[in-house]
Amino acid sequence: MAEIGSDPQMICIGAIAGARGVRGEVRIKSFTETPDAIADYGTVVDESGQRSFSIRITGRGSGKALGMVFARLDGINDRDVAQALKGTRLYVPRSALPEPTGDEFYHADLVGVRADLVDGGTLGVIRQVHDFGAGTVLEVELELGGSVMVPFSRTAVPLVDLAGGRVVIDPPAGLLEPAEGEDNDGD
């Protein structure tokens, strides 16, 4: 059985960041526009599709925890069980989410899209969209092998053309240059 994370009809809307308190509450990093909205889409499932949870928001993060919500998950009443869920990604069917409007899109829509360079060449294909906390980054599998991480900003990605199946990338200076000490001549 394929994992849900590879199914384009399932959208990751958050990830469990760890336990909070001793009675099984969890901290969830919400990927929804409004963090509390993570509880609005009904039952969520883990990446394997084996576990499902209803989310009840109990609090909101602030400061460095902005975008984090505190929640109770049905059936989780123990800190150790809650902590064991750390890293679990939470998914809902795409049909549970509102359709994007105008120039909006879901990050999941970018996976598999061709990445062209602003000068007209092809860079590769977007394999993943990451957010490690300092902003969204596109992982692009290069046509010539390997991969590169591109900051997902209007400067570095001036055009997202989902109808055309591509994004245009204007790489920051040095992004596509070999790392210092890297062998360029194949020896």
- Amino acid 126: pLDDT: 94
**Alpha carbon distance 131, 18 (integer Å):** 17
Q: Is 89 exposed, middle or buried (0-12, 13-18, 19+ CB in 10 A)?
A: buried
CA atoms within 13 A on the CB side of 68: 17
**Alpha carbon distance 68, 138 (integer Å):** 22
| Residue 18 pLDDT exceeds 90 | yes
The number of residues making up the chain comes to 187
Provide the percentage of residues in the chain whose pLDDT is more than 70: 88
**Closest CA relative to residue 13, chosen from 141, 85, 108, 120:** 108
The answer to whether 49 touches 3, Cβ cutoff 8 Å, is yes
Give me the mean pLDDT over the 74-78 stretch. 93
At 24-67, the pLDDT tens digits run 999 999 988 889 999 999 999 999 989 999 999 999 987 667 77
At 147-172, the pLDDT tens digits run 999 999 999 999 999 889 999 999 88
pTM for this prediction? 0.72
- Amino acid 135: pLDDT: 79
Range in 6-10, 70-74, 120-124 the model is least confident about: 6-10
C-alpha angle with apex 76: 95 to 1, nearest 5 degrees? 45
Provide the pairing of β-strand 55-60 with 68-73. antiparallel
At 85-117, the pLDDT tens digits run 999 999 999 888 888 887 788 888 888 999 999
Give me the mean pLDDT over the 118-145 stretch. 87
The answer to whether 126 touches 115, Cβ cutoff 8 Å, is yes
| Residue 2 pLDDT exceeds 50 | no
